[in-house]
Amino acid sequence: MADEISEYQKQIAQRRAEAEKKAKEYLAKKVRFKQFVFTGEGIDEHAGTELVYYADYSQEEVNHLIQLFIDIYNTEFKKDKEAKTLDDIDIDLYSFKGRNPEIDELLDDCSSHNIYLEHIDPTPRYLYSMSCYFWNPQDESISSRYPFEVDLKDEQYIYLLTKQLESYNGGPSFTFDSLHKERFDISFKINVEATSCIAEDIYFHNVPYLIIFDEVIRDAKAIMESEK
């Protein structure tokens, strides 16, 4: 009996390794769009809250903007120590308004998203599409489908894609509930975004909801189609 269990475990491990290999190869070739994170304090009704804005810039554009802030700081705001990185700048970035047209454009863009810019993360991020439905206890109905996006590291997305491929290949069903038990770090991120996307349309708390891994499912199906 022990030998049978051991052989079964080996088969499971092998299927998982094969699925993970396919997931990694697919992600390496997948067309993705870089996003960069701009953070700062909220404006007006969002005051006192740190907000995040994901923007479509190239790495070169972000590096250029960061260097502009550094150069302006060293020229006009420097006290004792010269800034070499954004972390060396000891004033909020929105204080640079009126110093440079490109900086002004960025600050205006952030303001339109209710943010007083305070920091720029030069590390590119990738957002992945998901969606959810929630149960409305007041009229006992299911909501319409709410799309949202989640910022995931490559390793996290590969994990999701691997589990989805395993599920399609005879493995256990892969759902948000099973993810929550296995990888809380990923489920927590997804939960935050799902809750945020429905927040403006509900007036009660702790509603049950169903999360669907839309992009993961599409990619898993694309991998399987390519093997036919």
pLDDT digits (tens, 9 = 90+) for 107-143: 999 999 999 999 999 999 999 999 999 888 878 888 8
- pLDDT tens digits for range 33-62: 999 999 999 887 777 788 899 999 999 999
Query: pLDDT value at position 73?
Result: 94
| Single-letter code of the amino acid located at 165 | L
For residues 18 and 74, membership in a common domain is answered with no
For residues 93 and 152, membership in a common domain is answered with no
Residue 2 falls within a domain, yes or no? no
Residue 206 has pLDDT above 80, yes or no: no
What does the alpha-carbon distance between residue 213 and residue 215 come to, in Å, rounded to a whole number?
6
Residue 202 has pLDDT above 70, yes or no: no
For residues 149 and 170, membership in a common domain is answered with yes
For residues 21 and 57, membership in a common domain is answered with no
For residues 85 and 166, membership in a common domain is answered with no
For residues 39 and 109, membership in a common domain is answered with yes
Residue 224 has pLDDT above 90, yes or no: yes
Residue 8 falls within a domain, yes or no? no
For residues 19 and 53, membership in a common domain is answered with no
Residue where a domain stops, chosen among 68, 99, 125: 125
Residue 186 falls within a domain, yes or no? yes
Q: Which domain holds residue 217?
A: 14-32+127-226
For residues 42 and 151, membership in a common domain is answered with no
- pLDDT tens digits for range 164-200: 999 998 778 899 999 999 999 999 999 999 888 876 6
Residue where a domain stops, chosen among 106, 125, 144: 125
| Single-letter code of the amino acid located at 10 | K
φ and ψ at residue 98, rounded to 5 degrees: 90, 5
Residue 116 falls within a domain, yes or no? yes
Residue 115 falls within a domain, yes or no? yes
Residue 132 falls within a domain, yes or no? yes
For residues 84 and 116, membership in a common domain is answered with yes
**pLDDT confidence tier of residue 227, bands split at 50, 70 and 90:** confident
Give the Cα-Cα-Cα angle 27, 14, 158 (nearest 5 degrees): 20
Residue 77 falls within a domain, yes or no? yes
For residues 136 and 121, membership in a common domain is answered with no
For residues 53 and 102, membership in a common domain is answered with yes
Residue 4 falls within a domain, yes or no? no
Domains contained in the chain, number: 2
- pLDDT tens digits for range 2-27: 555 577 778 778 888 999 999 999 99
Burial of 217 (0-12, 13-18, 19+ CB in 10 A): middle
Question: Tell me, what DSSP letter sits at residue 44?
Answer: G
- pLDDT tens digits for range 66-82: 999 999 999 988 877 88
Residue where a domain stops, chosen among 99, 125, 151: 125
